[in-house]
Amino acid sequence: SPESKLQLVQRHIRAFPDFPKKGILFRDICPLLKDPAALTAVIDLFEEQVRKNYQQVDLIVGLDARGFLFGPLLAQRLGIGFVLVRKKGKLPGTTVSVAYELEYGKAEAEIQEDAVSPGQKVLLIDDLLATGGTLFAACELMKKRKAEVLGCMVVIELKELNGVEKIKPHSLFSLLQY
Ligand code: ADE
């Protein structure tokens, strides 16, 4: 039987033990980007999910940095806009920011104030859900702008870190779970 889109995607994700430090099994999505058929399969699967469950979406919001690799492709496929959530200090003009906890210390996420309007329906996208700290911060930014988060989408969900709990009540759609 022909290989499914999901199998094609799965074949283009590599695992590196003990990167960036001992005990971490790093999921590397670079092979996905190197193979146009595999990358198309990712966007096809995301598009199918949006058309089924999030037809009213106004905007795709991508997370720094690997959300920027998939978000614009999905947004263009859907015929809607893409905006960036960045680490603090990277965006010009008036910005809105939120502080969040990392494994060690703190960070801040930021959007341009005019990037999202009150009442807009948005989908958040990133490559991977780990503890959910960054996606949670992005949800907080959307709340500050009075935008409606329809859900979060990632290529990979790391189940044991239980990030899905952190982003509640928002829904998560993941292509692959480890
Ligand atoms: N970010 C956080 N945990 C990760 C992992 N295991 N692989 C890739 N990116 C990550």
Q: What is the pLDDT of residues 26-47, one digit of tens each?
A: 999 999 999 999 999 999 999 9
Interatomic CA distance for residues 134 and 101, integer angstroms: 8
Interhelix angle 67-78/36-53, nearest 10 degrees: 60
Is the ipTM higher than 0.85? The answer is yes
Whether 141 has a pLDDT exceeding 80, the answer reads: yes
Fold that domain 55-177 belongs to in CATH? Rossmann fold (3.40.50)
Interatomic CA distance for residues 177 and 97, integer angstroms: 30
Domain ranges of the chain: 55-177
Pocket of ligand 1, candidates 24, 25, 63: which has the most ligand atoms within 8 Å of its Cβ, to mutate?
A: 24
**Using an 8 Å Cβ cutoff, are 19 and 26 in contact?**
yes
Q: Six-digit token pair at 150?
A: 């329809």
- Phi and psi based region of residue 15 (left: phi greater than 0; alpha: psi -120 to 50; beta: remaining): beta
Residue 69's pLDDT is 98
Beta bridge partners of 126: 154
> pLDDT category, 1, cuts 50, 70, 90?
confident
Residue 80's pLDDT is 98
Q: Whose CA is nearest to atom 5 of ligand 1?
A: 26
What residues line ligand 1, using a CB cutoff of 6 Å?
24-27, 128, 130, 158
Catalytic (active-site) positions: 66, 103
